[in-house]
Amino acid sequence: MSRIYDALRRAEQGGEGGERPRRPPVRIIPGLEDLLSAAPEIPYTPAPDFFVIDPTRSRDAHSEEFRTLRTRLNHLQKLQPLHSVVLTSPCPAEGKSFTVVNLALAEAQLTDNPTLLADFDFRRPVLHNIFQIERTPGATDFLAGQAGLADVVRRIAGTNLYLMTAGTAVSNPLEMLNLTETRTLLEQLPSIFNWVLLDSPPLLFAADANLLATMTDGTVLVVRIGVTTIDSVTRAMQSLCENNVLGIVANGARAGELYSKYTYYYSSYYYKDKREWRAEEEEEER
């Protein structure tokens, strides 16, 4: 038994000489340092059928919810190294893409807060459809060595928001995520972006999000009220081993539940005529 212990101790120390083996130096991604200024600008033209927060309506109840989420994440960032976050869900159609897009928009509204929104759901990507831009070149093209970093990152004109679409479809997304280039990319992006927010496949339908969780600083789980079951949440948390789980976002609250939280504070000041508030509320519900 003592020989086994000694062998393990020597292995931890790097062999007979007692020195730990040194990791090879990480290759700095070409173009990384100049990416913020080199990324081409595109107009902000979100798809009309996908609900995104409106930066011009800062006191809208939905915008308030995402600013609250932003505030909590920014507070956590002050307590621990936190710059790259995976947003996922137990099952499909629970609102993970809706959440990550609006959270990225909320983060990008802050001054000096460059935010990268990246689509790492290589199985069913939606980011390019939401912002009505080309899917390629994107993340898979960069990871495969078919495009440079400045070719796959675009900046929304006049904002701090940068986009990385999924890129060309691949036959085995999990193998793509297992590449050394993927880990290197996710390790180095936070050196220029304050936030790197990743959309990923659902946890219970693919292993992609589990793998991405090991390469990033934290994971946010999105569930849908009235749809996601307790069993699904439990199995999703177990699949993550509860490592770096920052919290759970409950999606799908009714509009009336949101408005009840903010009507008292804003109606008397911003809506002097109650009929104007009622018309505004009815328009939102439609």
| 4 has a pLDDT exceeding 50 | no
* 70/74 Cα distance (integer angstroms): 6
What pLDDT score does 54 carry? 74
Please give the CATH superfamily to which domain 45-253 belongs: P-loop containing nucleotide triphosphate hydrolases (3.40.50.300)
What pLDDT score does 166 carry? 98
| 57 has a pLDDT exceeding 70 | no
pLDDT tens per residue across span 236-258: 999 887 668 999 999 887 655 54
Name which residue leads in pLDDT, 130 or 12.
130
What pLDDT score does 208 carry? 96
* 5/9 Cα distance (integer angstroms): 6
Structure tokens given for 16: 């007979």
What pLDDT score does 262 carry? 42
Looking only at the bridges linking them, the beta strands covering 41-42 and 161-164 are unpaired
What pLDDT score does 221 carry? 96
Q: Average pLDDT for residues 51-56, to the nearest whole number? A: 76
What pLDDT score does 51 carry? 86
Reduced to 3 states, what is the DSSP secondary structure of residue 66?
Answer: helix
Find the distance separating the first CA and the last CA of the chain, reported in whole Å: 72
pLDDT tens per residue across span 123-166: 999 999 999 999 999 999 999 999 999 999 999 998 999 999 99
Instruction: Place 24 in a pLDDT band, splitting at 50, 70 and 90.
Output: very low
Rounded percentage of the chain residues whose pLDDT exceeds 90: 67
What pLDDT score does 225 carry? 92
Rama region for 126: left / alpha / beta (φ>0; ψ in -120 to 50; rest)? alpha
pLDDT tens per residue across span 205-219: 999 999 999 999 999
Instruction: Place 12 in a pLDDT band, splitting at 50, 70 and 90.
Output: very low
Rounded percentage of the chain residues whose pLDDT exceeds 70: 76
| 18 has a pLDDT exceeding 50 | no
Please check whether residue 150 is in contact with residue 230, taking contact to mean a CB–CB distance below 8 angstroms. Answer: no
Structure tokens given for 280: 């505004």
Q: Give the mean pLDDT of the chain.
A: 83
DSSP 270: H
Rounded to two decimals, what is the model's pTM? 0.80
Reduced to 3 states, what is the DSSP secondary structure of residue 70?
Answer: helix
What pLDDT score does 11 carry? 43
Name which residue leads in pLDDT, 121 or 48.
121
